[in-house]
Structure 1
């Protein structure tokens, strides 16, 4: 993809308006505030839970750990490894706790993970105690945790209307690296300015990837986190104009999906030939332990790499909690964890960070294509009305990660190397920043 003057997606940008700048500053303020105000977090959880129930006919609830931190989980659902389920003692204990096996509906990992559901009157705390007991006995078990793209990961207010970038004249190359974006899906509407027009749209079947934008509820306003996947794909396209981009929808009502949903999408993307898989999503986990389902998916990805003799790189946002607690799946050793920098290339204080972070890129005021629609006063005091072919600015590690994915794709194409090799070369160009990995210069912020 190249722009009208052939010099790349950032050519001849008009100067951002004072309103753009003010709204980006507000986004950053909200990122800092949301991590520190329990009342705001509770409001977010209520909004997400209600929308997920309406979309999926399943409920979510919050489990509060001993240190006061909370994790969203699917109600009455527990995951165990197939080895745990095969153990006679573990299975007897689970059945005594009134848990029964149900269909996982994720053939990509169903030989590695077993999904159990508790009786209706089993509380979240009881299920939490069951997991704790299994862990004490040395068995792999966890509640089916939820992975949001936000707003738990970023500001509640959403993006800001921005000026236009140049139109696109040429699409991706057929032999270019393949970047898979696992997120809320892609806008069904095909833009008239060339941006993201080559991203495949699937309106039905198991690979449905359309972001419905306005059904939670259908009130004429953009849903919570609507357009997130489209925006992330647009960030990849800005950095890597010639990359082949595909969108996979694993996040549903309220911009959240269970770890099983995300894990299945990771494997599907790898099976369909993705070289780079971008995950602008994640959360803390119970006991700060890796997600069982995503761990199984990453094992499957490694099997695909070995069987097909190629490299697959998984890149994930580090989160916006402003502390050092690991966020998953970014904290997996096999995953590139991307934290955020300010527009001045300093460590962003609102970004999650720590020893587990690999690199960082600017995460404030990133500009990319967005969707048509009106924002609701429920989520922002200053809503925007986005026209057709709109662009927006958004802040968060969600928009630092796809820059790294795009930069890796560029190096793969330029040098004819694999994704992991390309990432190693990219990371070597960065500046070391304590707890933020290597700081990379990719897209400018605001």
Structure 2
């Protein structure tokens, strides 16, 4: 029998109080509550304080360059914020590249075509790199000219984690424990397949049974390195401390597992432990997850872009996803974090029309000040002080003045739209299982349980926050 709650006495609570046991706000330790408030304040600070953004971008750029030998450039967006792009590289669509005049222009500008690096995108997207030293802003001028000529072009954006970009000295996830979640909900349908595209999954199996059913792929042939899904935790640099975004994918997986205990969860790694990956890497992982049979895909990542335009790589991937859906006669629902930019500027991939974009609310269902918002946000749920599975290790003093050491099978609290999105992904999977629905119909039913909030879409409470 379904436990989906449509009781008018509990509006905005699709599952009633199923997830509240042992996690009520009044039961939270005051120290934990203070840490969560600091997390929220620092997410807001990142948006309003240029010095914080510079430190954050500097950390990402340094680690990217160390691991890949390629520089990242900082690009100012139309709203005065900054976004990261791969240095010396731009993208155009295959349709634009087919124009001989466009090809001739790019050749004159000393740009050379190279492989995209994702087989499914090679005939849809063209990647070009500079063949010599160029002045700052050179490629921005090239993209401007291409756009004036009617070509679809952009620099190659780097997609950071939407809810975890922490500057030096901020607070971090705090240790906690789960409440009693009881037995798996009964239902009429099979468990849904949920794919998580993130930093990967912790290689170590937990002693408490959480997330042990998720496949770990560490030993893969060099020719299939993109299939590895283990989060290395301490990699950039290997200094004995947890990396900048270590454990993010494990935390997101724990959120889905809480909300949808019957879901079959698969984790893909497209982001480094520094919290960043190119839009091409994210697009390729999205296609791979759908080919592997995902019903719901969670993307707790996103970026603002030059001209506020959609990511060309993810747009091409969505075309491939649609073709796979038609071939198989089976739909896929993609869920993405709206971002923590605190404004109405679209964040991609969340702002794509076919993607469910998820904003963040406070524990009492008010708008989170850090959450991105606007006409393009479809729904929102609690994203402050969410409790989930974390990883073993010591936090670096570079990222916090009060580093914590997490034990084996640790739990933590974290804040951001990164942790609102997987609740919605899990909720869709749970409704699919309980009612035997496809992902789109399950999402529509979930929306019907919510209450509207301007710029935040339909809102509901699933997991409790702080």
Cα shift readout 1:175-206 (whole Å, capped 9, x = no counterpart) = 41010000000000010101100111100233
Aligned partner (choices 184, 206, 219) of residue 239 of structure 2: 219
**In the alignment, what sits opposite 1:3?**
none
Distance 1:379 1:151, change over 3 A: farther
Cα shift readout 1:374-420 (whole Å, capped 9, x = no counterpart) = 11111111211100000000000000000000000001111111111
Matched residue of 1:326: which SS?
coil
Matched residue of 1:35: which SS?
helix
Structure 1 residues 403-412 or 149-158, which shifts more? 149-158
In 1, the alpha carbon distance for the partners of 2:58 and 2:154 equals 23
CA offset at residue 282 of structure 1? 0.3
**4+ residue stretches of structure 1 with deviation over 6 A?**
167-174
Aligned residues: 440
In 2, the alpha carbon distance for the partners of 1:181 and 1:247 equals 5
Q: Does the CA-based 8 Å contact 1:168-1:194 persist in structure 2?
A: no
Structure 1 residues 42-51 or 150-159, which shifts more? 150-159
**In the alignment, what sits opposite 1:50?**
62
In 1, the alpha carbon distance for the partners of 2:420 and 2:78 equals 32
Aligned partner (choices 277, 283, 286) of residue 306 of structure 2: 286
**In the alignment, what sits opposite 2:367?**
347
CA offset at residue 71 of structure 1? 1.5
**In the alignment, what sits opposite 1:38?**
50
In 2, the alpha carbon distance for the partners of 1:243 and 1:150 equals 24
Aligned partner (choices 262, 272, 292) of residue 292 of structure 2: 272
In 2, the alpha carbon distance for the partners of 1:43 and 1:152 equals 14
Q: Does the CA-based 8 Å contact 1:150-1:225 persist in structure 2?
A: no
Aligned partner (choices 102, 122, 131) of residue 143 of structure 2: 131
In 2, the alpha carbon distance for the partners of 1:268 and 1:247 equals 11
The TM-score with structure 1 as length reference comes to 0.94
Aligned partner (choices 438, 441, 445) of residue 418 of structure 1: 438
Matched residue of 1:333: which SS?
coil
**In the alignment, what sits opposite 2:339?**
319
**In the alignment, what sits opposite 2:228?**
208
CA offset at residue 110 of structure 1? 1.4
Alignment of 1:32-111 (within 5 A): 32-65=44-77, 67-111=79-123
Cα shift readout 1:356-385 (whole Å, capped 9, x = no counterpart) = 100000010000000001111111112111
Which structure 1 residue ranges, 5 or more long, are not aligned? 1-6
Which structure 2 residue ranges, 5 or more long, are not aligned? 1-16
**In the alignment, what sits opposite 2:11?**
none
Structure 1 residues 300-309 or 395-404, which shifts more? 300-309
Distance 1:321 1:67, change over 3 A: closer
In 2, the alpha carbon distance for the partners of 1:66 and 1:437 equals 24
Distance 1:171 1:57, change over 3 A: farther
Aligned partner (choices 304, 310, 313) of residue 330 of structure 2: 310
CA offset at residue 300 of structure 1? 0.8
In 2, the alpha carbon distance for the partners of 1:415 and 1:168 equals 20
Distance 1:232 1:423, change over 3 A: same
Distance 1:12 1:364, change over 3 A: closer
In 1, the alpha carbon distance for the partners of 2:340 and 2:451 equals 21
The TM-score with structure 2 as length reference comes to 0.90
Distance 1:139 1:319, change over 3 A: same
Alignment of 1:117-156 (within 5 A): 117-150=129-162
In 1, the alpha carbon distance for the partners of 2:117 and 2:192 equals 30
Question: Which has the bigger relative contact order, CA under 8 A and spacing at least 6?
Answer: 2
Structure 1 residues 137-146 or 107-116, which shifts more? 107-116
Matched residue of 2:48: which SS?
coil
Structure 1 residues 130-139 or 245-254, which shifts more? 245-254
CA offset at residue 163 of structure 1? 2.7
Indicate the RMSD between aligned Cα atoms, in angstroms.
2.1
**In the alignment, what sits opposite 2:197?**
182
Distance 1:225 1:183, change over 3 A: same
